[in-house]
Amino acid sequence: MGLTTRVNKFLDSISKYYEGVSCYVRSKYKLGKCDELLPKEFCEGFERIDCISLRDLINGDVVRDELLVRNDRLDVLIHVSRDAKVCILEVSAREVILDVDECMRVDEGDLLAYLITGKGEVRGFQSRCKGYIVLIEELVGRPQTYKIYVVGDEYVREVRQ
């Protein structure tokens, strides 16, 4: 493999970092053109929404609608079934450095973030849930706070693209 090919592959991997996460919800009113990012099996009936709106689709600890979450950085698409159970983890510290992303699968005890305390100590924040991360919500203010929404494995399937 030549140097140019290696540099191009490296640049492609860096550019994926700037790609985002797309979210879709099942809608009986969706008609018209299919989103080119979705496989054909999901063309009918799903409409694109802002990912932060996913939190509004959660009643208590249950997702009330069928969802798709696509992470272009990881090149992963997950399908979340209706009435899926959600575990919400709140991470808070002077500074939080996340070690996870949407559409990643986590187990109980997995490291999700590094926390830097007011005294400058570094601590690890581990998951108490098992499943797929469907949303990471950053809350404004100090201390730095994130909510991580994890849906159990039994309600999620990874879709081949």
DSSP the chain: --HHHHHHHHHHHHHHTT--EEEEEE-TT--SPPPTTS-GGGSSSEEEE-GGGGGGGEETTEE-S-EEEEETTTTEEEEE-TTEEEEEEEEEESEEEE---TT-EE-TT-EEEEEE-TTS-EEEEE-S--EEEEEEEEEPSSSEEEEEEEE-GGGEEEE--
What is the reported pLDDT for 6?
Answer: 76
pTM, two decimals, is: 0.83
103 token code pair: 């559409």
Range of lowest pLDDT (28-32, 70-74, 82-86, 97-101): 28-32
| pLDDT reading at 66 higher than 60 | yes
Instruction: Read off the pLDDT of each residue in 36-56 and give the average, rounded to a whole number.
Output: 81
| pLDDT over 90, % of the chain | 59
| pLDDT reading at 40 higher than 80 | no
| pLDDT reading at 132 higher than 90 | yes
